[in-house]
Amino acid sequence: MSQRHKLVVGNWKMHGSHAANAELLQGILASRPFAAEAAVCVPFPYLSEVAVTLANSGLAWGAQDCSVHEQGAYTGEVSSVMLAEFGCRYVIVGHSERRAYHGESDQLVADKAKVALARGITPIVCVGETLAQREAGETAAVVKRQLSAVVHALGQCIGEVVVAYEPVWAIGTGRTASPEQAQEVHALLRAQLAAATPRASEMKLLYGGSVKPDNAVTLFGQADIDGGLIGGAALKASDFVAILRAAS
Ligand code: PEP
């Protein structure tokens, strides 16, 4: 098992309400302390209240996307400059739902990672293959291509990002990659990073895709898996807390 400190990030996606958020966060905070680092990435409108609730709590927060632009006539976009004003430590970029539903290219994702880093926000860069790509034996090539765009855009700063391997076929489906399947891809990603930065061995590589309390321990026990990006199970305090404990 690695000596890297584990990180567990909740991706709330487009879920939440003032009341639901308060209940969820109180449930998580009541279970502190956690040995692992924890964060929640929430919808933009809730950043303000989450920043107040979580200030000095030990639980970090972030967003689920950011614009590649810093300001201007980009209706509907939210910049990393704005996210920084709300104390975001993290921003997810390149989630498969953004790639699939909003046509985000590898280059756009890489550029978003770059603007976030420039504002002191750690990008959580998602990579992952579809089921068709896995069945065609293309997993390694797909994740390599996706990560490569980020490596080229960031140069030596690549050492500052978090990478999340999220096989598309495992997201929200209840179908998890086996620990061996996940580890195999994580090892490939770390080797690719090692060719780009001496900091690769310190970098956090998260697994995401139907992580639940009952599979988290084995997944997080793999040599190159440093925690998780959690969707559905991040919406229930007891599940998120159990996953955090599994990462301890
Ligand atoms: C995600 O959306 O990043 C995710 C991993 O979702 P789930 O845990 O629900 O599969």
Please report the domains of the chain, with CATH numbers, ordered by start residue.
7-246 (3.20.20.70)
- The answer to whether 113 touches 158, Cβ cutoff 8 Å, is no
Residue nearest to atom 7 of ligand 1 (CA): 231
ipTM: 0.97
Q: CA-CA distance, 218 to 105, in Å (whole number)?
A: 32
Q: CA-CA distance, 38 to 80, in Å (whole number)?
A: 21
Q: Which tokens is 166 given? A: 């999220």
CA 139-129-154 angle, 5° bins: 90
Pocket of ligand 1 contains residue 66 by CB under 6 Å: no
Pocket of ligand 1 contains residue 210 by CB under 6 Å: yes
86 DSSP 8-state letter:
T
- The count of C-alpha atoms lying within 13 angstroms of the C-alpha of 126, restricted to the half-sphere facing its C-beta, is 30
- Where does the pLDDT of residue 1 fall: very low under 50, low under 70, confident under 90, or very high at 90 and above? very low
Average pLDDT over residues 163-177: 94
Pocket of ligand 1 contains residue 230 by CB under 6 Å: yes
- The answer to whether 179 touches 170, Cβ cutoff 8 Å, is no
Cα-to-centroid distance, 231 and ligand 1 (Å): 3
Bridge partner residues of 205 (DSSP): 163
Residues tagged active-site: 95, 166
Give the mean pLDDT of the chain.
97
Q: CA-CA distance, 166 to 189, in Å (whole number)?
A: 12
Alpha-carbon torsion (113, 114, 119, 121), positive or negative: positive
Question: What number does the ligand 1 atom closest to the CA of 210 have?
Answer: 10
- Where does the pLDDT of residue 248 fall: very low under 50, low under 70, confident under 90, or very high at 90 and above? confident
Cα-to-centroid distance, 73 and ligand 1 (Å): 32
Average pLDDT over residues 116-122: 98
Residue with tokens 């997993």: 139
- One-letter amino acid at 15 equals H
Other Cβ atoms closer than 10 A to 135 = 11
Average pLDDT over residues 99-116: 98
Average pLDDT over residues 37-44: 98
- pLDDT value of residue 3: 72
Pocket of ligand 1 contains residue 166 by CB under 6 Å: yes
Does the annotation list 148 as a binding residue?
no
**What does the pLDDT look like over 124-149, one tens digit per residue?**
999 999 999 999 999 999 999 999 99
Residue nearest to atom 8 of ligand 1 (CA): 231
Within 95-213, strands assigned E span: 122-127, 162-165, 205-208
